[in-house]
């Protein structure tokens, strides 16, 4: 799984942060590059928000974001936009908040006895993205510092202390999700036809804007314009539990309406299989993420959701991420002892749990990863130019309690909006081994199991000299030393002739003795480092996993 995003300029700041988070790979596999990147401070222009280019205005001139991704081995897809098929109708208009009505509990189709409607205002302004002078970096919730936790708690506490009629207050912010998602708004000019932001191409843009203003309000309340929301990276085995910062009952981040059976160390079950084996759940989760992000989409709408236009009576269909991992996390966290799975397990109440915004920060990260960094043979161009998509609009209150109108076209690039995510480079299986990579691999069992490291579907150019070494949990950057416990094996070939100049093979490396030597028998995962000794391409790794060593058959006796 990955948590990668590139900065938007070319001048490194004084701060660098390493990361060991995973990337999307085939089931049970995830990778990190050996070298880490730098944070960059930028000043991004706000003009030409509709332009399909990835140019970013900096103090050094315009930089094409595509060129900035060359270090990722060309993983960035083409920047051309994908037009929706068929004739355009009209975009979804922003709601008329003075006509906000009673919301519905979608779990049982009954009217809610709460008021989800926002405070009224006649002063609506069109929002313009402000210049970005310093990029906010959204951190992984499992890796935040004590200083960050203190600041985050203080921000949420101050939001909860705002007067209830303040549109920036905690419950008013929570009610945004209720109003847009539970039928409190009708489509303007369409009678009683509900406005619904789920189950369509509006899902990602709406929630991105929602978190954008929520984040800015929190930063305003603590006087820190650089404050960034954390993301719950449930795509990473090390992040597949509820982040610790949300489980302290004395914290402002705590919500009592959560499934107590799923508190840490319970592993989030993205497949909702209820499998009791946590290692199998991790494997299932990785399979689901690979399918959602890479393998399972035949066009842009399979991921983004189907077109939703003015007058559409029923939302046309969710994308892979919305209907998969996103929904599973909502249900998994929500309290089954509550009448309708409150809080996170129901749309009307989801925003009452601070974990909701952390969850959706990762959903937002999935969109950015998919859009710009994950290659696809079936979906090489991943953006939509249909005007009904670009001109769809919503209303939010900003950090100054000003009611603003925003459009989808202005939220297509998170860098232009001034925030990024903790970074990690992003190779993907099948992996071309032309640089050092590190792969975090789940073990089959804890303890001294007899296990093998399997590197499978290794495709090699038989006309070249090829060699790579394999290390386990090697934190030493000196790759020229093999006389250490971390070294586990080698693949090498002499150039030779074959019919088609290529061959496919696999290698198995025994881990049992290494576990004892390195005292890692009880670890859940091991870090595999692959060090190529050849120059350039020539080796492609299909996958890496740990398997149990089959017990050899006993010798025959006479």
What integer pLDDT is reported at residue 518 of this predicted model?
A: 84
What integer pLDDT is reported at residue 32 of this predicted model?
A: 38
Q: Rg of the Cα trace of the chain?
A: 25
DSSP states of 375-420: --SS-SEEEE--HHHHT-EEEEE-TTS-EEEEEGGGGS-TTTTTEE
- Ligand-binding annotation for 33, yes or no, is no
What does DSSP assign to residue 466?
A: E
Strand order in the sheet with 437-442: 31-33, 437-442, 525-532, 466-472, 487-493
The torsion of the CA quartet 469, 289, 247, 142, rounded to 10 degrees, works out to 30
Among the listed residues 5, 29, 33, 198, the single catalytic one is 198
Known catalytic residue: 330?
Answer: yes
Q: For residue 502, list its beta bridge partners.
A: 461
Known catalytic residue: 347?
Answer: yes
Whether the ω angle into residue 305 lies within 30 degrees of 0, i.e. cis, is: no
Residue 436 exposed, middle or buried by CB count within 10 Å (0-12, 13-18, 19+): middle
Known catalytic residue: 421?
Answer: no
How many C-beta atoms surround the C-beta of residue 229 within 10 A?
A: 23
Residue 251, both tokens? 């914290």
Delineate the domains of the chain, giving CATH numbers in brackets.
96-421 (1.10.1280.10), 431-548 (2.60.120)
pTM of the model: 0.69
Closest CA to 268 of 281, 251, 286: 281
Known catalytic residue: 198?
Answer: yes
Give the pLDDT means over successive 10-residue stretches in the chain (558 positions).
31 30 41 32 34 35 30 25 49 96 89 93 96 95 96 98 97 97 94 95 98 98 97 89 97 98 96 91 84 87 96 90 96 97 96 98 94 75 93 98 98 96 62 81 70 91 93 75 84 88 91 84 81 90 84 56
Whether the ω angle into residue 265 lies within 30 degrees of 0, i.e. cis, is: yes
What span, in angstroms and rounded, lies between the C-alpha atoms of 521 and 517?
Answer: 9
What integer pLDDT is reported at residue 29 of this predicted model?
A: 40
DSSP states of 2-59: ------SSS-B-S-----------STT--EEESS----B---B--S-TT--S-EEEET
Residue 306, both tokens? 């189907």
What does DSSP assign to residue 322?
A: I
Among the listed residues 24, 203, 206, 347, the single catalytic one is 347
What integer pLDDT is reported at residue 7 of this predicted model?
A: 29
What integer pLDDT is reported at residue 551 of this predicted model?
A: 63
What integer pLDDT is reported at residue 377 of this predicted model?
A: 66
Known catalytic residue: 360?
Answer: yes
- Ligand-binding annotation for 29, yes or no, is no
CB 200 within 8 A of CB 305: yes
What integer pLDDT is reported at residue 82 of this predicted model?
A: 38
Q: For residue 507, list its beta bridge partners.
A: 455
- Ligand-binding annotation for 198, yes or no, is yes
CB 348 within 8 A of CB 181: yes
Residue 5, φ and ψ in degrees, nearest 5: -155, 145
- Ligand-binding annotation for 496, yes or no, is no
Angle between helices 146-161 and 203-221 (to 10 degrees): 90
Give every CB contact of residue 370 below 8 A, 6+ residues apart in sequence: 293, 303, 321, 382
Known catalytic residue: 33?
Answer: no
Among the listed residues 330, 356, 421, 429, the single catalytic one is 330
Give every CB contact of residue 210 below 8 A, 6+ residues apart in sequence: 176, 177, 360, 396
Phi-psi label, residue 265: left if phi above 0, alpha if psi -120 to 50, beta otherwise: alpha
- Ligand-binding annotation for 360, yes or no, is yes
Among the listed residues 360, 389, 394, 468, the single catalytic one is 360
């Amino acid at each position: 799984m990955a948590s990668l995003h590139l900065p938007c300029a070319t001048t490194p700041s004084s701060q660098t942060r390493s990361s060991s988070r995973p990337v999307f790979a085939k089931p049970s596999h995830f990778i990190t590059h050996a070298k880490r990147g730098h944070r960059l401070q930028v000043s991004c222009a706000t003009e030409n928000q509709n332009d399909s280019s990835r140019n970013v205005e900096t103090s050094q001139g315009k930089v094409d974001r595509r060129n900035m991704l060359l270090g990722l081995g060309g993983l960035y897809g083409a920047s051309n936009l994908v037009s929706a098929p068929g004739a355009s109708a009209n975009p979804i208009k922003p709601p008329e908040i003075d006509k906000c009505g009673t919301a519905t509990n979608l779990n049982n189709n009954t009217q809610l006895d709460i008021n989800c409607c926002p405070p009224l205002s006649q002063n609506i302004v069109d929002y313009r993205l402000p210049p970005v002078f310093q990029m906010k970096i959204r951190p992984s919730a499992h890796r935040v510092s004590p200083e960050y936790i203190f600041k985050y708690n203080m921000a949420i506490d101050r939001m909860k202390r705002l007067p209830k009629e303040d549109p920036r207050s905690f419950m008013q912010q929570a009610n945004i999700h209720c109003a847009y998602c539970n039928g409190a708004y009708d489509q303007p000019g369409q009678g009683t036809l509900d406005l619904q932001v789920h189950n369509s191409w509006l899902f990602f843009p709406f929630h991105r804007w929602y978190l954008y203003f929520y984040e800015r309000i929190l930063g305003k309340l603590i006087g820190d314009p650089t404050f960034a929301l954390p993301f719950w990276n449930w795509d990473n085995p090390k992040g597949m539990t509820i982040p610790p910062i949300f489980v302290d009952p004395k914290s402002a981040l705590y919500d009592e309406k959560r499934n107590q059976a799923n508190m840490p160390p319970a592993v989030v079950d993205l497949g909702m299989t209820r499998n009791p084996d946590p290692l199998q759940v991790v494997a299932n989760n990785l399979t689901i993420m690979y399918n959602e992000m890479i393998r399972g989409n035949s066009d842009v709408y399979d991921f983004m959701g189907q077109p939703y236009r003015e007058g559409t009576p029923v939302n046309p269909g969710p994308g892979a991420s919305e209907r998969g991992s996103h929904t599973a996390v909502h249900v998994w966290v929500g309290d089954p002892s509550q009448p309708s799975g409150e809080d996170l397990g129901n749309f009307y109440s989801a925003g009452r749990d601070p974990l909701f915004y952390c969850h959706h920060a990762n959903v937002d990260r999935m969109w950015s990863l998919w859009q710009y960094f994950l290659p696809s043979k079936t979906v090489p161009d991943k953006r939509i130019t249909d005007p009904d998509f670009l001109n769809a609009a919503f209303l939010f209150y900003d950090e100054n309690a000003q009611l603003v109108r925003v459009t989808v076209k202005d939220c297509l690039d998170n860098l232009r909006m001034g925030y990024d995510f903790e970074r990690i480079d992003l190779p993907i299986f099948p992996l071309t081994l032309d640089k050092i990579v590190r792969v975090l691999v789940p073990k089959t069992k804890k303890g001294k199991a007899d296990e093998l490291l399997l590197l499978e579907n290794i495709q090699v150019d038989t006309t070249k000299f090829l060699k790579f070494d394999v290390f386990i949990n090697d934190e030493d950057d000196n790759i020229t030393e093999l006389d250490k416990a971390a070294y586990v094996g080698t693949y090498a070939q002499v150039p030779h002739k074959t019919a088609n100049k290529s061959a496919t093979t696999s290698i198995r490396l025994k881990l049992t003795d290494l576990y004892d030597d390195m005292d890692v028998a009880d670890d859940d995962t091991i870090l595999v480092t692959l060090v190529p000794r050849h120059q350039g391409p020539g080796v492609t790794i299909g996958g890496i996993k740990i398997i149990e060593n089959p017990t050899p058959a006993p010798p025959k006796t006479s």
